Amino acid sequence: MSVRILRMDDINGVTNPLKVTEIFRRLGYHTLGQAIAIADLELSPQSTADIYEAHLIADQRSRNRALADLQVLLITLKPEVWESASVASGRIKAIATSLAKNKPDNYF
């Protein structure tokens, strides 16, 4: 097994989707780092309206059919959603819940 080392500077320097992708690549994931269409997430109109952009960071396919695949999404909310921490928290929970319901085998 190869050694994967991350330093605090690696995390502190994450400022965009490409840098997030690089972190996952260094951790050994199959990374993509590609923008995805928000409509492809099949979210409610409110959740769709709250999202600024979405990226598929990693797509880790399991070699064992008994285990689920893992996809890592990076979803950036629009600035106005962040005007209140409680609103942002609620919107994040709503998006995560919708993703889990839409694809129950692929999200946890």
Is the pLDDT at 106 greater than 80, yes or no?
A: no
Q: What is the dihedral of CA 59, 60, 61, 64, to 10 degrees?
A: -160
Residues 6+ apart with CB under 8 A from 107: 96, 99, 100
Quote the mean pLDDT of the chain: 86
pLDDT digits (tens, 9 = 90+) for 25-53: 988 888 999 999 999 999 999 999 999 99
- Give the three-class secondary structure for 56: strand
Q: For position 49, what pLDDT does the model report? A: 96
pLDDT digits (tens, 9 = 90+) for 13-26: 899 999 999 999 98
In the DSSP assignment, the letter for residue 61 is -
